[in-house]
Structure 1
Amino acid sequence: MVVDFRRAQSDHSLPFINESPVEIVKSTKFLGVHLAENFTWSLNTTSISKKAQQCLYVLWRLRKAYLPPPILTMFYRGTIESVLSSCITAWFGNCTVSDRKTLQRTVRTAEEIIGVSLPSITDMSH
């Protein structure tokens, strides 16, 4: 990914590593975080939300198996909250309001499934 802070856009020649051209991409995933060339975090938020939704289904199934709220909360903290808060200090400060609402919706859904109050996505970022 080429990062260029100049105001005037210009075409970049392909970089070479060991005499082989390197492909220029619009986004990449590095250490589990999706980085976009325009420095927005929507792609990262979408990815996190999808992972968390998959874990919410498992949480819902555990509740249907009549597990008590403390066990469900422990599952939430170990899976869903860890997905939501992965590298959160790097990306959360520059998320759009829409992205934050998307992630908070996941937390609210988990609260409804478990039946207890959980820390908000903003609280996780601090």
Structure 2
Amino acid sequence: MGLISDNDEMAYLEEIKHLENWCQGNNLLLKVSKTKELIVDCSKKQERYYQPVRISGSTVKRVDSFRYLGVHILQNLSWSHHTNSLAKKARQLLYHLRHLRDFRLPSKVLQNFYTCTIESILTGNITLWFGNSTKQDRQALQRVMRSAERITHTELPDLQTIYYKGKDPTHPNNRLFYLLSLDRALTKPFHCKLYHV
């Protein structure tokens, strides 16, 4: 990840060169075909031209979005695509939860199944995306949880409770959570390039 200030890409391109040199010095091969570049530009000015990134003589493909460690990151930093994907996957698992209910399993077993399968999907990397997701995105996920409550006949914690529970005040990076807080607006324009190796 590199930050471009005042249209000067030199620091960013130098960072990539350092990475390339480090990999060569440590006998690691960068696969350019699997490397993507994502530009995030939140400034209000017109679209800029950015130099293509080259690694080992090959141009890195520039993309509008990519999936990294299970999280869909979009160029405009919207989380709708990611939350829609989570909701769809979780709704499919409700089918299995209903089948378990039809076998008359105890509510505790149903709740354990929900926690281990559906909730783990809905809350994966929640501290990253939940704070800046839209109300509509959160409601779509919450509807899946309400369906699970009706199936299991138990009260389940909502997403906001889980989100704040994950913000452990004793964690060394707890001070960074203000960056991900709810309803936080970007106060000044910035743009950066992300690349995935």
TM-score scaled by length of structure 1: 0.94
The 8 Å contact of residues 65 and 72 in structure 2, kept in 1 or not, is answered as: yes
Residue in structure 2 matching 1:121, options 155, 159, 182 = 159
Which residue number in structure 1 is paired with residue 39 of structure 2?
2
Whole-angstrom distance in 2 between the partners of 1:6 and 1:101 = 29
Q: Matched residues in 1 for 2:44 and 2:136: separation? A: 27
Alpha carbons 2:107, 2:153 under 8 Å: kept: yes
CA 1:16 to 1:6, structure 2 compared with 1: closer, same or farther past 3 Å?
Answer: farther
Aligned equivalents of 1:4, 1:121: Cα separation in 2: 29
- How many residue pairs get aligned? The number is 126
1:82 corresponds in structure 2 to: 120
Gaps of 5+ in 1: none
Report the CA distance between 1:15 and its aligned residue: 1.4
CA distance in 2, matches of 1:109, 1:11: 47
Residue by residue over 1:54-81, the C-alpha shift from the partner in whole angstroms, topping out at 9 and shown as x without a partner, is 2111111111111110000000010111
Query: Is the 2:93–2:117 contact (alpha carbons within 8 Å) kept by the matching residues of 1?
Result: yes
The amino acid across from 1:57 in the alignment is Y
* 1:21 alignment partner in structure 2: 59
What is the rounded CA distance, in whole Å, between the counterparts of 1:16 and 1:85 in structure 2?
36
Q: CA deviation at 1:17?
A: 1.5
- For the aligned residue pairs, the C-alpha RMSD in angstroms reads 1.2
Q: Larger % of strand: which?
A: 2
Which structure has the higher relative contact order (CA within 8 Å, separation 6+)?
Answer: 2
Partner of 1:93: 131
Letter in 1 for 2:128: A
Give the secondary structure class of the aligned counterpart of 1:3: strand
What is the letter of the counterpart of residue 163 of structure 2? S
Supply the distance in 2 between the matched residues of 1:107 and 1:19 (Cα, whole angstroms).
49
Query: Which residue type is aligned with residue 2 of structure 1?
Result: I
Decide which of 35, 38, 61 is 2:73's aligned counterpart: 35
3-state SS in 2 of match to 1:35: strand
Structure of larger gyration radius: 2
Identical-residue share of aligned pairs (%): 42
Q: Distance in 2 between the 1:96 and 1:82 partners?
A: 20
Q: TM-score, normalised by structure 2?
A: 0.61
